[in-house]
């Protein structure tokens, strides 16, 4: 499904998808009722595929919650490298493209993004609590992480360069550090 990330959902034909996957069109429509159904399934598959990558990461073993949050952001920054289509997010691409034409796909993309953010919520909440930050909602901040990443991806695509996306994550780390410790990283 890299094709969709590269060229977009509308610009990727079912024939292309079938050729790339080595199946025939008959097989495709046997498994998916329509192209839209494929989009929904792709968004769900995306969440299922990326989840273990973060679930099994090392930073979970750190004793300090803030360190775990910063560890997550370190990993995100490290993942932003090489070819643009390699680190970019399918859910964001889908959401931006079909938000009006296909509510079903948009909703699936939203679940993928929010679902991932939810996995951060506990650590973010504890990090904030550990440092006496009481006026910030952990879920909202975790979602903001995703916003910064998605925005970084957009800028990276426009510029043809991963650097703006990495810079965004660095700002995010500084923000979290300032929030919790009240001092510059």
> Least Å distance between CB 26 and DNA?
2
Does 91 bind a second copy (CB under 8 A)? Our answer is yes
Contacts by residues 73-79 (CB-CB < 8 Å, ≥ 24 positions apart): 73/145, 73/169, 73/172, 73/173, 73/176, 74/173, 76/145, 76/149, 76/169, 77/166, 77/169, 77/170, 77/173
- The item of a second copy, DNA, none sharing an interface with residue 46, based on CB under 5 to 8 Å by kind, is none
- Is residue 30 within 8 A of residue 18, CB to CB? The reply is no
The tally of CA atoms less than 13 A away on the side-chain side of residue 20 is 10
Does 57 bind DNA (CB under 7 A)? Our answer is no
Question: Which residue, chain included where needed, has tokens 């660095």?
Answer: 170
> Least Å distance between CB 15 and DNA?
5
Question: Taking the C-alpha atoms of 64, 70, 75 and 76 in order, what is their torsion angle to the nearest 10 degrees?
Answer: 140
Residue 41 or 62: the one with the smaller Cβ distance to DNA is 41
Candidates 11-19, 49-57, 108-116, 176-184; binding stretch for DNA (CB under 7 A): 11-19
Exposed/middle/buried for 82, CB within 10 Å: 0-12, 13-18, 19+?
exposed
Among 35, 99, 126, 131, binds a second copy (CB under 8 A): 99
- Is residue 57 within 8 A of residue 16, CB to CB? The reply is no
Residue 13 or 118: the one with the smaller Cβ distance to DNA is 13
> Least Å distance between CB 41 and a second copy?
17
> Least Å distance between CB 162 and DNA?
29
Residues that bind DNA (CB under 7 A): 12-16, 23-27, 29-31, 34-36
Residues that bind a second copy (CB under 8 A): 6-8, 10-11, 84-85, 91-93, 95-101, 103, 106-107, 109-110, 113-114, 135, 140-141, 143-144, 146-155, 157-160, 164-165, 167-168, 171, 174-175, 178-179, 182-184
């Amino acid at each position: 499904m890299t094709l969709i990330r590269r060229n977009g959902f509308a610009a990727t034909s079912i024939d292309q998808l079938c050729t790339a996957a080595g199946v025939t069109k008959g097989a495709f429509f046997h498994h998916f009722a329509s192209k839209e159904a494929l989009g929904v399934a792709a968004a769900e598959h995306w969440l299922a595929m990326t989840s273990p990558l973060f679930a099994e990461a090392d930073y979970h073993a750190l004793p300090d919650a803030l360190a775990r949050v910063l560890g997550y952001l370190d990993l995100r920054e490290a993942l932003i490298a090489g070819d643009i289509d390699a680190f970019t997010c399918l859910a964001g691409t889908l959401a931006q493209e079909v938000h009006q034409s296909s509510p079903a796909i948009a909703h699936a993309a939203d679940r993928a993004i929010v679902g991932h953010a939810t996995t951060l919520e506990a650590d973010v909440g504890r990090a904030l609590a550990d440092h006496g930050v009481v006026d910030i909602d952990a879920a909202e901040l975790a979602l903001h992480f995703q916003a910064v990443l998605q925005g970084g991806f957009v800028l990276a695509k426009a510029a043809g360069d991963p650097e703006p996306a990495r810079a965004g994550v660095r700002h995010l780390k500084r923000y979290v550090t300032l929030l919790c410790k009240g001092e510059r990283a």
